[in-house]
Amino acid sequence: MYTSRFATKLGGDNGKQVEKTAIEDLNDLVDGYTYCFQRSMKTVFSLLPAEEAADRAFIFARIDELLTSNTEAFQDSLSGLPPNQRALLSAAAVEGRANTFTSTEFIHRLGLGAVSSVQSAARSLLKRQLMTRDPQNNTIWMTNTWNYS
């Protein structure tokens, strides 16, 4: 598994370790998105004392700090989007990965307006790379989703 090798090498090069289950949990959280995984691990290892192992609690606390420190940037990014794109992005964050973002049921359930408006918003968000499409199974999801508990 690439993520495990990356984390082991990155930590080992600096005399630090991470629990295998924590690596798996982080990879699940970021849905295999390489940038988010690498950014998280680099942040974790930069704050982890030498000769210690990072567990799930330590990793997720660092992610909370990373997100909190970027709240203003996230808000600025959202404020620059038209209302229909903000609404679809919010709905995507709630829904997660789905192939129904343009279905009538999804649109009415979340009060997103007209189908054509949602399709237009999806195209714009895909173009801006704020959403991602998997052509193999036609799913769309919010890029950099960080919903976790």
DSSP of 21-65: HHHHHHHHHTTT-HHHHHHHHHHHHHHSPTT-EE-HHHHHHHHHH
148 in Cβ contact with 36 (< 8 Å):
no
Which region, left, alpha or beta, applies to residue 72 given φ > 0 means left and ψ of -120 to 50 means alpha?
alpha
Q: Is the pLDDT of residue 148 over 50?
A: no
pLDDT digits (tens, 9 = 90+) for 19-33: 888 888 888 888 777
Query: 38-46: long-range contacts at Cβ-Cβ below 8 A with a sequence spacing of 24 or more?
Result: 38/6, 39/66, 40/66, 41/6, 41/7, 41/10, 41/11, 42/10, 44/18, 45/10, 45/11, 45/14, 45/16, 45/18
Q: What confidence score (pLDDT) does residue 58 get?
A: 92
Q: Going from the N-terminus, what domains does the chain have, and what CATH number goes with each?
A: 2-69 (1.10.8), 81-142 (1.10.10)
pLDDT digits (tens, 9 = 90+) for 54-68: 899 999 998 888 888
CA atoms within 13 A on the CB side of 67: 12
pLDDT digits (tens, 9 = 90+) for 90-127: 887 777 666 667 778 888 888 888 888 988 998 898 88
72 in Cβ contact with 38 (< 8 Å):
no
